[in-house]
Amino acid sequence: MLAVPFALAAVQQSRGSGALKLVAGWETAPFEDGPAAVAFFYATNLGVPFLLALAALLLPGARWRWFLAGWVAALFIAPNVVQVSVVAFDMNKLFQAMWIAVAILAAWLVRRWPTPAVVAVLVLSVPSPLLVAAWTATSDEQVLSTTDLAAARWVAESTPHRSVFVTDGWLNSLVDVAGRLRVSTYGPYVANLGYSPEAREGQVRRIYCEGSVEVAADTMEELGAHYVIDGGRPPDCEIPTDFGSEERFMEVYSGPGPTIWQLRGAAPA
């Protein structure tokens, strides 16, 4: 009951952005391949603890069986009937919340098993989490490079605190690390807050990808932006803007890593 006000606010904003919609199955599951493929998908992704929890629910002696069954069922069914995020995969967070009840049920089922059997269950349960942990520890897909961090240190030390930067709109940015502002973040996250990212994404694309320094400078003035990060660019950027071809932009940082240009005459931060 305490969560209802927060849930209603999120639902209303999801409706405003078009993120809230009914679905016939979680988009990530292979429903187009038939029921057997879906069953295999869930069995292998949710793994041994989930199967143990289902077995526990079949035994009448399980404590709080109906309460835990409702917990598991509600959070398993929800991603398969409704989507509240622009990114369908993000609905997996409900499976994570389901996992508390799954763990309680699975633990109850094996509580009196012989030690070798419990060890075998644990051995079969850990490969998937270890795989995810290994990917997270070794992947550089969602972290900043060392050159980005060097640029972030320069931004933190050399620009006013309320400076506004134009970036490519990816998840993470050196601007965030430096504690400065940027005109746009990751589009799906903007949409999840109830706002359409399309207008701002169009402005960012005009700055980076119309090939016109004048258009870029005018758009930055419209946004109140002072700097532009010339590193990553929006996808399919056919005519990259050459910020160094016109005096309205001054190069203030040239590496390592991205180049940072300052718009001359921009209003103070």
Output the domain CATH number for residue 176. Answer: 3.40.50
d(CA 249, CA 34): 57
Condensed to tens digits (0 to 9), the pLDDT of residues 33-71 reads 999 999 999 988 888 999 999 999 988 887 888 999 999
Q: Which residues of 96-134 are buried (b: 16+ CB within 10 A; e: fewer)?
A: eebbebbebbbebbbeeeeeeeeeebeeeeeeeeeeeee
User: Which residues of 3-156 form beta strands (DSSP E)?
Assistant: 21-22, 82-83
In a domain, 141, yes or no: no
The residue with greater pLDDT, 232 or 164, is 164
Containing structural domain, residue 238 = 146-263
> Is residue 242 predicted with pLDDT exceeding 70?
yes
pLDDT confidence bin for 17, thresholds 50/70/90 = low
Give 2's DSSP letter: T
Picking from 136, 162, 195, the residue at the C-terminal end of a domain is 136
> Is residue 231 predicted with pLDDT exceeding 70?
yes
pLDDT of residue 16: 59
Condensed to tens digits (0 to 9), the pLDDT of residues 83-140 reads 888 888 889 999 999 999 999 999 999 999 999 999 999 998 888 788 888 988 888 8
In a domain, 101, yes or no: yes
Q: Are 10 and 73 in contact (CB under 8 A)?
A: no
Give 110's DSSP letter: H
